[in-house]
Amino acid sequence: MKHDIFSLKGKVAIVTGGNQGIGKVVAGYIADAGADVIIFDKNDATAVAEEIAEEYGVRTGAIICNVTDPEDVKKAIGEAAEKMGTLDLLFNNAGICLHKDALDCTPKDWLKVIGVNLNGIFFVAQAFGRYLVSNGKSGNIVNTASMSATIVNIPQGQASYNSSKAGVAHLTKSLAVEWAEKGIRVNSISPGYIMTEMTGTVRKDWRDFWVSTIPFKRMGKPEELAGAVIYLLSDASTYTSGCDMLIDGCFTAV
């Protein structure tokens, strides 16, 4: 390539929720694009970080961090900056799902989902944004929203999840506008049904129904999200902010 616009060489990327699923796979691709990677997860992701370092020859690290706790997040950002020397990119991806009808959803259920998926995304983005601004740096954020931000999934009831992801999509635009002049771009990806630990344990009849309604007639793989994340984190997208990329096998097109 004459113009190496998709390269992440020389950058340090945080990946939240990177101990498994989408975060783990995409973290490997971010490393393959040249970035050093530090994983934040509620579980110890040291083994994943070591695997990525060995496979792609980049520097990696892992920090245990609960994204619902702003103090924990602030501490993790400080530790990550110290360990890696600097921070440039954030794949803000940790999330949970709850399949429960709205009539049965308890206040605790609701607050748990909103706590991880919306509050957690905000706390990490805010701490990362503060780090960039206080260090006079530019940077890029990609939040993981979902096609559930714009459509209502069936047959399962998941109002808390859908609402949290709609919040992420609009938070993305809000931060993109607020931080445009600070040189911080903020975009999101909205995956359709992706085969991970999160979806792997869902009732088979539901998964069969989902597949029957996806024009591609299959669920996506985590690696099929990597190109979009790298594009949005890299200099290939320098005029793009506040954008949501749907990657859903045409699900929302029908």
Which one from 146, 160, 164, 237 is the annotated catalytic residue? 146
Residue 193 interacts with ligand NDP (CB under 6 A): yes or no = yes
Among 41, 49, 125, 129, binds ligand NDP (CB under 6 A): 41
Residue 43 interacts with ligand NDP (CB under 6 A): yes or no = yes
- Is the CB of 143 or the CB of 237 nearer to ligand NDP? 143
Report the nearest approach of ligand NDP to the CB of residue 50 (Å): 16
Active-site residue, 190 included:
no
- Is the CB of 57 or the CB of 155 nearer to ligand NDP? 155
Q: Which residue has the tokens 């931080």?
A: 179
Residue 146 interacts with ligand NDP (CB under 6 A): yes or no = yes
Residue 66 interacts with ligand NDP (CB under 6 A): yes or no = yes
Residue 143 interacts with ligand NDP (CB under 6 A): yes or no = no
User: Hey, how many other C-beta atoms are within 10 angstroms of the C-beta on 188?
Assistant: 29
Active-site residue, 161 included:
yes
Among 196, 234, 237, 241, binds ligand NDP (CB under 6 A): 196
- Is the CB of 144 or the CB of 234 nearer to ligand NDP? 144
Stretch that binds ligand NDP, among 27-35, 41-49, 128-136, 204-212 (CB under 6 A): 41-49
Site string for ligand NDP, 113-132 (x = CB under 6 A): ---x---x------------
- SS3 for the chain is CCCCCCCCCCCEEEEECCCCHHHHHHHHHHHHCCCEEEEEECCCCHHHHHHHHHHHCCCEEEEECCCCCHHHHHHHHHHHHHHHCCCCEEEECCCCCCCCCHHHCCHHHHHHHHHHHHHHHHHHHHHHHHHHHHCCCCEEEEEECCHHHCCCCCCCCCHHHHHHHHHHHHHHHHHHHHHHHHCEEEEEEEECCECCHHHHCCCHHHHHHHHHHCCCCCCECHHHHHHHHHHHHCHHHCCCCCCEEEECCCHHHC
- Measured CA to CA, the distance from residue 5 to residue 234 in angstroms comes to 7
- Is the CB of 94 or the CB of 233 nearer to ligand NDP? 94
- Is the CB of 181 or the CB of 208 nearer to ligand NDP? 208
CA nearest 26: which of 80, 87, 91?
A: 91
Query: Binding to ligand NDP (CB under 6 A): which residues in 2-21?
Result: 17, 19-21
Residues annotated as part of the active site: 146, 161, 165
Q: Rule CB under 6 A: which residues touch ligand NDP?
A: 17, 19-23, 41-43, 65-68, 93-97, 116, 120, 144, 146, 191, 193-194, 196-199
